[in-house]
Amino acid sequence: MSAQNSFYLTSGFGVPEFLNLGVKYEHDEVQFGICVGGMKMSDGESLFSVSSDLYWHFGGDSELTTTLPWYGRMGVVYSRDENDAAIHKYLYLTFRVGRDFNISENFGIQLDGGVGLQLHEREIEKAGSFFSVDIEIPFIPCIGLGLFYRFD
C-alpha cells in the first residue's frame, strides 16, 4: 500500500454544522475539509453554517483502505441562527475525536464528538421584538455523523 491522495464528498448532520455537504482532500494521514450546512425549522427559524476542518488520522487499521480509522479533528465554524426576534452569529473553535467506518474501498461512515469553544457571538435584534433571552455559553458539545465517498 502506498501514500494516499484522495478527494472526498461528504454529507452529514452535526452540531454546530446542521445538515451539511462538503469536500475533503487527503494527503497521507492528514485531511483538510470544508462544508456548508443549514436547516429550516418548523417555527420559521433558519440555521446556516460554514466550517473548515483539519483531520489527523492515527491508530488502528482498516482492511479496505490505507487511511487509519481513528482521527483528531480541529476546526473553525461560523454559525448563523435567525428567528422572528433576532439574528445570532457565532464563531467556534472545535476539537473532536472520531472514527471512520469503511463499508467499501470508497464509501464509509464517520462518527465524532468533542467540544466547541465560542470565540465570538453577535446578536442583532429585529424591530418589534419585545422578548430576548441572551444566554452566554462559552462551550458547546460538538457531535457529527456523516457519510463520505472517496475518489482515488
Question: 97-118, pLDDT tens digit by residue?
Answer: 999 999 999 999 999 999 999 9
What gap in Å lies between CA 16 and CA 41, rounded to an integer?
15
> CATH class for domain 5-151?
mainly beta
What gap in Å lies between CA 59 and CA 79, rounded to an integer?
31
Backbone angles phi, psi at 107, to 5 degrees: -120, 140
Question: 30-41, pLDDT tens digit by residue?
Answer: 999 999 999 999
Sequence ranges of the domains in the chain: 5-151
Angle subtended at Cα 27 by Cα 25 and Cα 28, rounded to the nearest 5 degrees: 140
The residues, any chain, with a CB within 8 Å of residue 42's CB and separated by 6 or more, are: none
Q: Which residues of 109-121 are buried (b: 16+ CB within 10 A; e: fewer)?
A: ebebebebebeee
What gap in Å lies between CA 122 and CA 56, rounded to an integer?
31
0.85 cut: is pTM over it?
A: yes
